[in-house]
A = this chain, B = another copy of it.
Amino acid sequence: MNSNGDGMTQARETGTLGKLMVLLDLVTHAAAPLRFTDILALAGQPRGTLHRQLSHLVEEGLLELDGDGRYAPGLRLLDFAARSWARNEFRMIAEPHLADLQQATGETVHLGVLRGSSIIYLDKVEGRQPVRMYSQIGNASPCYCTGVGKAALSLLPPDRLADLLAGLSFTRFTASTHGSAETLLAEIREIADQGYAFDREEHEAGIRCVAAPVWSEDRTFIGGISITGPAYRLSMELLREWAVPVQLAAGRIMEGMRIRLGPRR
């Protein structure tokens, strides 16, 4: 039973691939490399079956087995991801606009898209410091407590939104995290009206952001961009001012998509 709270796995768990992906998820979500027996307990598969499944994953480089018999995520995943990221058109088009926004505000800018009920961050532009790469990029965060997430939700048609909300389990990360679908839905309606969203320290205490929705024409990407920073530097008043440049940048990204990809037939 897949009990991960992020709900991003709407994939079927039957079929050879499905079962293997559950295992891969299990191992990559673990805090530390797992022993065979640990996985056995978590996966609830017969010993023989599990052993073969893991062997296959190791053979393909999706998992790695160290000298102590501990299974860790395989580095082949990095290679796949690097290409997935480098060639992503949405990200490429957004890139210069993210940089502009970073320059204009001096704060960190994110680009994220909705996948299942998670936001996956596609890019991050920070100011000064030698950034720890991969940090944030690729990370999946809940949609109900991030600026980008709520901006994305405001783009969904009512029925899809309802379906998604029904499947959420609300983990309270801070005192201001939404605790129910009702309050969240109310805020999403508001966001749909005004065209921008805030994160009022809902995911991480002391961190705020303003976000605007972004989408591709074929709706393959539904997500948003945001300016994020520490609460002591980003008053709610300042964030309200920044709603304008964020929305403008979002608009420019979407225009870039139209030009680049041509009109829909």
Q: How far apart sit A87 and B73, CA to CA, in the bound complex (Å)?
A: 9
Q: Interface with B: A40-48, A122-130, A149-157, A239-247, which one?
A: A122-130
* Number of copies of this kind of chain in the complex: 2
- Find chain B residues with CB under 8 A from A126 CB: 130
Are B124 and A133 in contact, with the CB atoms below 8 A? yes
Interface size for A (C-beta < 8 A) is 77
Which A residues are closer than 8 A to B by beta carbons? Answer: 1-2, 8-9, 11-12, 15-18, 20-21, 24, 28-29, 31-32, 55-62, 64-69, 72-88, 99, 102, 113, 115-116, 118, 120, 122-128, 130-131, 133-135, 137-140, 217-220, 264-265
- A24-B80, A76-B115 known; 4 new pairs, CB 8 Å cut-off, are A61-B116, A79-B140, A82-B139, A102-B130
Q: List 17 A-B contacts (CB under 8 A).
A: A11-B60, A18-B59, A28-B83, A28-B84, A73-B83, A74-B84, A75-B84, A75-B120, A77-B77, A77-B84, A78-B122, A79-B118, A79-B140, A82-B140, A102-B130, A125-B130, A133-B133
